[in-house]
């Protein structure tokens, strides 16, 4: 039976970082897990190479667009190789076969009456490739906060509005179509709010897939990008079964709308089968902020892979972050987890078990008994782990497996094989055999269960156990207790997770490599390392005096719905009536941090609407490299309404 899964295809205007690696690692894990369940699993990832934004990045890099996308796309492929990921298809949106599939999808939608010609004037965010409804020129993009651009053009429109009922029925009929539940609820309420038709072609840009027979139209990037999931496996069958539809689209939470609304609507319109499930995970943060190019807080995989190995990164991401929720990365936490769970936990169990078999039984697995309390615990762990993997509960899965590791550790201490080896009691040799067999068999079960998460290290432990078949061929159904053959000769023992005794040294090394990788990626992107920014042009004092800066007191604060960034504030400026101000600070400050706080406000800005709320002023904050805003504040007490000069 086939199992087809995908990651998003990544934009080539940023070099890969561990945020991209996160989704791709999980996809690789899930593929291995499904293979262990007996499926023929196929994984697609790729690169999203069209759009104005990419065109502009190439221009800035002084390269032709294709030259630029070739280079960045190759860098993504290199990353996945470096991390040892099992990718079956790396699909580029610039491939000719992909263009055919996109045109075919469009043709089907059109023939079925869901496409019409119209014209669009409005705001567009070139970074998120998002049409922003109800926005005025200069308004920020609701997703990334960058200014939107006004575009006017003749377009082909897709009748998204016709699919409201069918989509709602789909979510009802297939409760697992969008997971986790929070994302499902968001999508349902968005769709219930009504859908407007969507422009799916662009006539004033060149860098896109041409619409057959409709020059100068090219496809809107999301119509193009989503089709990758199909084009990568067009016509491909496994055991006589078509690979399409996908069984799983793994994505980050910011692109749920495109996947859970647009994509099934396009497919319904075309009369094609729908994907079975979309799972949207949370964001990987670094120092409490989403890792991203614009925030300048990026961590790359390569330094971690070089210093600690790819499995250390995989383990950390899957154990530390609850899949589906946001999680934080830090080098300290990475090393902490590695030392406590991998070096001291799994690594220690493997080396002590195998060393004892060498020492007391000349490297041959002895015949054992029933394994006491360990055997039923192992059986239960196999069940729980399989269910947890299945439900994307990776952290819980690992916790369960570590429960078994601790139980075996305890069992070894209680049985004290080192005493049994010296004992002259008649049943001591049999007890020692039983102890060693139980420990080794538990190690076999643990190693097999961990293969999806730790493919490289479990392969090593597997061969040290002397297992005859490769770990890749292990299936859940053959995992039951007793599978380890007595008489099997173990392999050569070598430490799998050497302890990191000097975390500072390891972190320094990773930071040093990080700087090198960053510099290499800047070259790849055709950018020079950030120049020292010269200050903006000098202004006369009169110009400065035009800005009315006032001290305000925040009276109320609440996050703006459907926006990660915006906070709706009422601020007392000593004018009698408090003002409404909408500020892009919600990712850095919660309501409790703001209420009762004195802030600096630009009081004489023209009002403007953000997310439908009129903002009468702007809050003053500092930010480094476009990073998290930090509010301006005073050390001394200062009356409300005071002017800053
Ligand atoms: N090209 C679109 C996707 C098209 S899919 C048909 C796109 N590309 S992207 O390069 O911006 O990648 C977004 C995806 O990368 C996220 O959905 C997520 O899978 C992954 N991540 C990028 N940064 C991330 C974090 N900081 N944290 C977690 N995942 C991150 O959107």
Indicate if ligand 1 lies below 6 Å from the C-beta of 129: no
User: What is the number of other CB atoms lying within 10 angstroms of the CB of residue 81?
Assistant: 11
pLDDT at 295: 65
292: pLDDT strictly greater than 90: no
Q: What is the pLDDT of residue 130?
A: 84
In this structure, what token pair is assigned to residue 474?
Answer: 């292990």
CA of 580 to the centre of ligand 1 (A): 34
Structure letter (DSSP) for residue 259: I
Please indicate whether residue 278, judged by its CB atom, sits closer than 6 Å to ligand 1: no
Residue nearest to atom 25 of ligand 1 (CA): 19
Q: Kindly indicate the confidence band of residue 434, based on its pLDDT and cuts at 50, 70 and 90.
A: very high
243 in Cβ contact with 144 (< 8 Å): no
pLDDT bin (cut points 50, 70, 90) of residue 536 is low
Q: Is the pLDDT of residue 378 over 80?
A: yes
Residue ID of nearest Cα to ligand 1 atom 23? 19
Task: Please name the residue whose Cα sits nearest to atom 24 of ligand 1.
Answer: 19
Residue 90 CA to ligand 1 center (angstroms) comes to 16
Q: Is the pLDDT of residue 624 over 70?
A: no
Confidence of residue 529 (pLDDT cuts 50, 70, 90): low
Determine which helix (DSSP H) or strand (DSSP E) holds 600, and give its type and residue range.
strand 598-602
Strands lying side by side in the sheet with 289-290: 289-290, 284-286, 327-329
Please report, to the nearest 10 degrees, the dihedral formed by the alpha carbons of residues 309, 310, 312, 317 taken in order. Answer: 160
DSSP string, 123-135: EEETTTTEEETT-
Residue 194 has pLDDT above 90, yes or no: yes
| Distances 581 to 128, 143, 478, 513, 564 between C-alpha atoms, Å | 25, 19, 63, 43, 16
- The single residue listed with the structure tokens 């941090």 is 593
Q: What are the backbone angles phi and psi of residue 149, rounded to the nearest 5°?
A: -115, 145
538 DSSP 8-state letter: P
Q: Whose CA is nearest to atom 17 of ligand 1?
A: 252
Query: What's the pLDDT tens digit per position in 293-316?
Result: 666 678 999 999 999 999 999 999
How many Å lie between the centroid of ligand 1 and the Cα of residue 471? 31
CA separation for the pair 430, 424 (Å, rounded): 12
Q: Is 290 in the pocket of ligand 1 (CB under 6 A)?
A: yes
What is the reported pLDDT for 442?
97
Residue with tokens 């392969």: 459
Residue ranges with strand state E in 383-495: none
22 lines ligand 1 (CB under 6 A): yes
Any atom of ligand 1 within 6 Å of the Cβ of 11:
yes
- Spatial distance between the Cα atoms of 131 and 124, rounded to a whole number of angstroms: 5
Helix or strand run (H / E) with residue 593:
helix 591-594
Asked if pLDDT for residue 609 goes beyond 90, the answer is no
250 Cβ below 6 A of ligand 1: no
* Residue 294 burial by Cβ neighbours in a 10 Å radius (0-12, 13-18, 19+): middle
- Residues 6 or more apart whose CB falls under 8 angstroms from that of 35 comprise 41, 472
Q: Which of 23, 49, 75, 291 to mutate to test the pocket of ligand 1 (most atoms within 8 A of CB)?
A: 23
Edge-to-edge strands, sheet with 115-125: 130-132, 115-125, 149-158, 198-199
* C-beta 23 within 6 A of ligand 1: yes
Task: Please give the pLDDT value at position 537.
Answer: 63
Give the DSSP letter string of 270-310. HT-PPPS-EEEE--EEETTEE--GGGT----HHHHHHHH-H
Q: Please tell me the distance between residue 556's alpha carbon and the centre of ligand 1 in angstroms.
A: 34
- For residues 275 and 269, the answer to whether their CB atoms sit within 8 Å is no
Strands 149-158 and 248-252, how do they pair? unpaired
Cα gap 122→155, rounded to integer Å: 12
Ligand 1 centre distance from Cα of residue 515 (Å): 23
Nearest one of 433, 437, 432, 457 to 447, comparing CA atoms: 457
**Of the candidates 385, 488, 499, 486, which has an alpha carbon nearest to the alpha carbon of residue 445?**
385
pLDDT at 336 over 70: yes
The predicted pLDDT at position 533 comes to 44
pLDDT tens for 94-141 read 999 999 999 999 999 999 999 999 988 889 888 888 888 888 887 888
Q: What is the pLDDT of residue 133?
A: 80
Region for 366 from its dihedrals, namely left if φ exceeds 0, alpha if ψ lies in -120 to 50, beta otherwise: beta
CA–centroid distance, 306 to ligand 1, in Å, is 24
Q: How far is the CA of 450 from the centre of ligand 1 (A)?
A: 26
Mean model confidence pLDDT for the chain: 93
pLDDT digits (tens, 9 = 90+) for 12-25: 998 999 999 999 99
Task: Render pLDDT for 73-82 as a digit per residue (tens, 0 to 9).
Answer: 999 999 999 9
Q: How many CB atoms lie within 10 A of CB 224?
A: 29
Weakest-pLDDT range from 77-91, 316-330, 621-635: 621-635
Question: Ligand 1, closest atom to CA 291?
Answer: 26
Chain centroid to CA 158: 29
With a CB cutoff of 8 Å and minimum separation 6, the contacts of 469 are: none
Q: Whose CA is nearest to atom 13 of ligand 1?
A: 10
**291 Cβ below 6 A of ligand 1:** yes
Pocket test for ligand 1, best of 8, 144, 323 (most atoms within 8 A of CB): 8
Going by alpha carbons, the residue nearest to atom 28 of ligand 1 is 283
534: DSSP letter: P
Residue 177, SS3 per DSSP: coil
Contacts of 468 (CB under 8 A, 6+ apart): 488
Evaluate if residue 530 carries a pLDDT over 60.
no
In this predicted model, what pLDDT tens digit does every residue of 35-74 receive, in sequence order? 999 999 999 999 999 998 899 899 888 999 999 999 999 9
Confidence of residue 541 (pLDDT cuts 50, 70, 90): confident
Q: Say what the pLDDT of residue 534 is.
A: 47
Instruction: Report CA(20)–ligand 1 centroid distance (Å).
Output: 6
Q: Is the CB of 331 under 6 A from ligand 1?
A: no
Q: Is 54 in the pocket of ligand 1 (CB under 6 A)?
A: no
pLDDT of residue 381: 98
Print burial letters for 338-372: b (CB count within 10 Å at least 16), e (below 16).
bbebbbebbbbbbbbbbebbeebbebebbebeebe
Q: Please, is 336 exposed, middle or buried when counting C-beta atoms within 10 Å of its C-beta (0-12, 13-18, 19+)? A: middle
State the closest ligand 1 atom to the C-alpha of 229, by its place in the atom list counted from 1: 6
Could you tell which of 12, 14, 15, 19 is best to mutate to test the pocket of ligand 1, judged by most ligand atoms within 8 Å of the CB? 19
- Longest Cα separation, the chain: 100
* CB neighbour class for 261 (10 Å; exposed up to 12, middle 13-18, buried from 19): buried
- Count of beta carbons in the 10 Å neighbourhood of residue 117: 11
With a 6 Å cutoff on the Cβ, whether 283 touches ligand 1 is: yes
Q: Which of 10, 54, 229 to mutate to test the pocket of ligand 1 (most atoms within 8 A of CB)?
A: 10
| More confidently predicted of 527 and 607 | 607
The average pLDDT across 459-475 equals 97
**pTM for this predicted structure:** 0.81
């Amino acid at each position: 039976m086939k199992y087809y899964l995908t990651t998003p295809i990544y934009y080539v205007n940023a070099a890969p970082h561990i945020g991209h690696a996160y989704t791709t690692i999980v996809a690789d894990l899930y593929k291995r897990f499904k293979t262990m369940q007996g499926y023929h699993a196929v994984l697609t990832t790729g690169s999203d190479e069209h759009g104005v934004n990419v065109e502009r990045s190439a221009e800035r890099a002084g390269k032709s667009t294709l030259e630029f996308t070739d280079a960045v796309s190759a860098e993504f492929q290199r990353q996945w190789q470096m991390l040892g990921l099992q990718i079956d298809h790396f699909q580029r949106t610039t491939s000719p076969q992909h263009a055919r599939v996109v045109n075919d999808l469009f043709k089907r939608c059109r023939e079925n009456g869901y496409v019409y010609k119209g014209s669009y004037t409005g705001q567009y965010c070139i970074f998120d490739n998002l049409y922003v409804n109800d926005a005025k020129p200069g308004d920020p993009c609701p997703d990334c906060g960058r200014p939107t651009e006004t575009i006017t053009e003749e377009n082909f429109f897709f009748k998204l509005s016709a699919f409201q009922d069918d989509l709602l029925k789909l979510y009802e009929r297939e409760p697992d179509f969008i997971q986790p539940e929070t994302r499902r609820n968001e999508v349902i309420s968005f769709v219930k709010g009504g859908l407007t038709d969507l422009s799916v072609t662009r006539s004033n840009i060149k860098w896109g897939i041409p619409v057959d027979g409709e020059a100068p139209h090219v496809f809107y990037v999301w119509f193009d990008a989503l089709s990758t999931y199909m084009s990568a496996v067009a016509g491909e069958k496994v055991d006589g079964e078509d690979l399409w539809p996908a069984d799983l689209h793994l994505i980050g939470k910011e692109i749920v709308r495109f996947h859970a609304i647009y994509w099934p609507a396009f497919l319904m319109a075309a009369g094609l089968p729908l994907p079975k499930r979309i799972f949207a995970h949370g964001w990987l943060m670094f120092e409490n902020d989403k890792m991203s190019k614009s925030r300048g807080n990026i961590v790359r995989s390569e330094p971690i892979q070089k210093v600690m190995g790819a499995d250390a990164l995989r383990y950390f991401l899957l154990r530390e972050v609850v899949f589906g929720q946001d999680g934080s990365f830090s080098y300290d936490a990475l090393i902490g987890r590695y030392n406590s769970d991998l070096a001291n936990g799994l690594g220690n169990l493997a080396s002590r078990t195998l060393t004892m078999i060498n020492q007391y039984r000349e490297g041959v697995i002895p015949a054992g008994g029933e394994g006491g309390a360990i055997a039923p615990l192992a059986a239960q762990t196999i069940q729980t782990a399989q269910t947890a993997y299945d439900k994307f509960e990776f952290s819980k899965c690992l916790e369960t497996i570590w429960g078994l590791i601790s139980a075996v550790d305890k069992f070894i201490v209680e049985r004290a094989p080192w005493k049994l080896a010296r004992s002259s009691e008649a049943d001591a040799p049999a007890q020692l055999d039983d102890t060693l067999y139980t420990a080794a068999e538990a190690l076999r079960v643990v190693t097999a269960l961990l293969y999806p998460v730790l493919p490289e290290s479990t392969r090593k432990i597997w061969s040290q156990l002397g297992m005859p078949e490769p770990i890749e061929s292990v299936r859940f159904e053959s995992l039951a207790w007793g599978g380890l053959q007595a008489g099997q000769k173990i392999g050569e023992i070598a430490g799998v997770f050497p302890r990191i005794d000097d975390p500072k040294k390891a972190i320094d090394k990773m930071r040093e490599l990080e700087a090198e990788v960053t510099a290499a990626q800047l070259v790849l992107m055709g950018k020079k390392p950030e120049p020292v920014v010269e200050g903006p042009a000098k202004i006369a004092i009169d110009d400065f005096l035009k800005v009315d800066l006032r001290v305000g007191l925040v009276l109320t604060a609440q996050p703006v719905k459907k926006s990660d960034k915006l906070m709706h504030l009422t601020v007392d400026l000593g004018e009698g009536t408090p003002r409404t101000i909408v500020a892009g600070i919600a990712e850095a400050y919660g309501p409790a941090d703001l209420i009762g706080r004195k802030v600096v406000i630009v009081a004489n800005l023209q009002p403007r609407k953000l997310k439908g709320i009129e903002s009468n002023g702007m809050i003053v904050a500092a930010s480094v490299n476009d990073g998290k805003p930090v509010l301006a504040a005073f050390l001394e007490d200062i009356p409300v309404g005071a002017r800053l000069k």
